[in-house]
Amino acid sequence: MRFLVLGGTAWLGHRIAATALERGHDVTCLARGSAVPDGAELVVADRDDPRELPLPAGAHWDVVVDVARQPGHVRRAVRELRSRSGRYVFVSTGNVYASQSDEGADETAKLLPALVADSFTDPDHYGPAKVACESAVLAAFGSGRSLIARAGLIGGPGDPTGRTDYWPRRFARETAGDSISGGPVLVPDAPDLPTALIDVRDLADWLVRAAEAGTAGVFNAGGTPVPFPAHLDAARAAARAVTRSTAPTVVAAERWLLDRGVSEWAGPRSLPLWVSDRSWYGMNARSSAAARAAGLTVRPLEDTLRDAALAHESDSPFPGGAGLAPAHEHDLVVELETARESPPAAPQ
């Protein structure tokens, strides 16, 4: 088959292109950069350029794969490729849903209103922008010639956010030579928080195989939801591939962490994957049963975490600045343990 990957230089797009090549397909990548997989044809293009895409004259592709987030990019692509490709695979997101509170919700859940504009910069417009992208694909290719994959949180080797490898690397750091770098691991008290990671390799493999099979439809494509403590258990087990980790955990109340400026989810000063707002618990607990029935398979969480941790040098910075700096975490642990050891004040 002939694949046209709109992208192919960044994390997921590169993995999709590489997977298609590994499975014996001809792959063309249309991208601004040049770091496409070996064996792929590169067409250099900037999708922000309003001119027509510089596609080879007369070329036709069996499938187009698009991971774009800007509606204008997708609207132009489907317009120009509708007659030049057989199928369109679009990687969307679970952020398209109007509510993130319902655990187990499937693809019939209500969507956000589509973004009218062709581009956005406000992160709050990400979900509506992806809704607009989906609408453009379905309008041009129809339900029979398109596959919409509403991906859950993507993880695995190369995760640019640090969310995948923070916890296994943090447990592995327990063997550092000083108490600040390798002391107890601070974790939030969130026993009911669902977490789910779909390995980038599993998502790419399924998208390519689905294209081969002519699979059409709209699918949630997420990892297997597990409670946050089970995710930490898998991270500790994954850390044993790096060290003989026996690091203890120190559990802190969510309100206590928030009051001290600890961030949620990702980025600097954060405890990655932690979400305190219960109205977002459904985000990582959607049903992917339809995708599983259509051939999606996912590897064990421990394998994803281990491979992500091994992909980085143990002393390298966390991608995206994720997590707590060792000194900051140490200070928080000391404060928390000191407060727990101090006797309550006598009544006046």
Task: Specify if 334 maps to a domain.
Answer: yes
Q: What CATH number does residue 98 fall under?
A: 3.40.50.720
Give the domain extent around 87. Answer: 2-151
Q: Are residues 263 and 321 in the same domain?
A: yes
Q: Quick check: is 318 in a domain?
A: yes
- Token pair 């002393």 is found at 315
**295-314 residue pLDDT tens:** 999 999 999 999 999 998 76
The total domain count for the chain is 2
Last residue of a domain, one of 93, 120, 151: 151
- Quick: pLDDT tens for 126-169: 999 999 999 999 999 999 999 999 999 999 999 999 999 999 99
Q: Are residues 143 and 15 in the same domain?
A: yes
Residues 271 and 330 in one domain: yes
Which contiguous run of DSSP H or E holds residue 65?
strand 61-66
Cα 200 to Cα 289: distance, rounded to the nearest angstrom:
18
Residue 181 pLDDT > 70: no
Identify whether residues 181 and 54 lie together within a single domain.
no
Q: Are strands 61-66 and 154-155 parallel, antiparallel or unpaired?
A: unpaired
Contact indicator for 272, 167 with CB cutoff of 8 Å = yes
Tokens representing residue 109 in the block: 């859940």
CA separation (Å) from 290 to 28, 215, 222, 257, 296?
A: 29, 12, 11, 38, 9
Instruction: Convert the pLDDT of each residue in 63-113 to its tens digit.
Output: 999 999 999 999 999 999 999 999 999 999 999 999 999 999 999 999 999
Rounded CA separation 125/122 (Å): 6
Q: What are phi and psi of 272, to 5 degrees?
A: -55, 145
Looking at the structure, do residues 190 and 135 belong to the same domain, yes or no? no
Shared domain check, 54 and 24:
yes
How far are the Cα atoms of 92, 195, 286 from residue 99, in angstroms, in the given order? Answer: 16, 17, 11
**Whole-prediction pTM:** 0.94
Please check whether residues 179 and 47 belong to one and the same domain: no
Percentage of the chain lying above the pLDDT 70 cut: 95
Residues 187 and 118 in one domain: no
In a domain, 159, yes or no: no
Work out the pLDDT band at 240, boundaries 50, 70, 90.
confident
> Which of 88, 123, 151 is a domain's end point?
151
| 134 or 178, which is more confident | 134
First vs last Cα of the chain: how many Å apart? 80
Q: Is residue 176 scored above 60 in pLDDT?
A: no
End of a domain among 89, 120, 151? 151
Helix (H, G, I), strand (E, B) or coil at 15: helix
